[in-house]
């Protein structure tokens, strides 16, 4: 199967909530764990700049060292939250809760589903050599509220062929994605959610 076909299968698996299909092409736990460390590093390196942009966000107030210590200390909590939201999202029997307070994880999963429904993707370029490939993929939002929040982002996905199957290894351009994704989160994430999620 070619890279473009793999990307399409992954996109379909996410949209149709088929976790078994998705995990054929990505080790989700490894992907999230390695991504967490890389994002933490970029946030810490740019902590002062982000504090100027978002002075209300205490996450950046105390400097890069405090940020690194905090993310290290709460690593399992943060990744646990992401994992639980993903599990809820891929549950085809998920029932939307009445509000955030009633079921925070399920509520976030529903919000995730709304965001994903607003997105489209375009494979712009694929460079493959032997068992490694890099795909430039544009992921863009539609005219809905959620689509406008997302905007337009370009990803560089690295794939490696393992036992004849292309698998997503990592996002190569995390550095350039951190700022726009952070801005999206700052604009979208309500402050009351911070204390409402029970880990």
- pLDDT tens-digit series, residues 23-57: 999 999 999 999 999 999 999 999 999 999 999 88
> What three-state secondary structure class fits 121?
strand
Mean per-residue pLDDT, 175-181: 96
pLDDT value at 109 more than 80: yes
Residues 6 or more apart whose Cβ sits within 8 Å of residue 188: 149
In sequence order, what are the beta bridge partners of 127?
134
Is pLDDT of 195 > 60?
A: no
For residue range 129-144, what is the model confidence (pLDDT) as tens digits?
999 999 999 999 999 9
Q: How many domains does the chain have?
A: 1
Residue (of 36, 21, 130) closest to 75 by Cα position: 36
Q: Mean of the per-residue pLDDT values for the chain? A: 93
At residue 188, does pLDDT exceed 90? no
Residue 101 is predicted with a pLDDT of 85
Task: To the nearest 10°, report the CA torsion of 30, 35, 36, 42.
Answer: 160
Task: Tell me: pLDDT of 191 over 70.
Answer: no
* Span 101-118, average pLDDT: 94
The mean pLDDT of 91-109, rounded to a whole number, is 92
Q: Residue 199 and residue 197: Cα distance in Å, rounded?
A: 6
Percent over 90 (pLDDT), the chain:
86
Q: Which domain holds residue 10?
A: 3-196
pLDDT of the residue at 190: 65
- List alpha helices for 74-162, DSSP H: 75-89, 104-117, 145-150
CA 141 and chain centroid, separation: 15
User: 17: which 2 tokens?
Assistant: 């909530």
- Block residue for tokens 């054929």: 24
Decide: 118 and 150 in contact? Cβ < 8 Å.
yes
End-to-end CA distance of the chain: 39
């Amino acid at each position: 199967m070619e890279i473009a076909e793999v990307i399409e299968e992954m996109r379909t698996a996410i949209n149709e909530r088929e976790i078994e299909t998705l995990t054929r092409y990505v080790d989700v736990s490894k992907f999230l764990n390695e991504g967490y460390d890389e994002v933490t590093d970029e946030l810490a390196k740019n902590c002062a700049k982000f504090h100027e942009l978002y002075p209300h966000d205490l996450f950046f107030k105390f400097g890069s060292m405090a940020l690194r210590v905090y993310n290290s200390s709460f690593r399992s909590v943060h990744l646990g939250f992401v994992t639980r939201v993903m599990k809820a999202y891929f549950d085809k029997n998920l029932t939307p809760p009445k509000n955030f307070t009633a079921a925070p994880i399920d509520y976030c999963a529903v919000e995730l589903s709304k965001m994903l429904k607003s997105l489209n993707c375009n494979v712009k370029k694929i460079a493959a050599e032997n068992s490694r490939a890099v795909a430039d993929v544009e992921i863009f939002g539609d005219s809905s509220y959620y689509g406008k929040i997302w905007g337009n982002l370009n990803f560089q996905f690295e794939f490696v062929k393992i036992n004849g199957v292309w698998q997503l290894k990592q996002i190569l351009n995390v550095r350039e994605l951190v700022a726009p994704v952070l801005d999206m989160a700052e604009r979208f994430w309500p402050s009351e959610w911070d204390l409402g999620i029970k880990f």
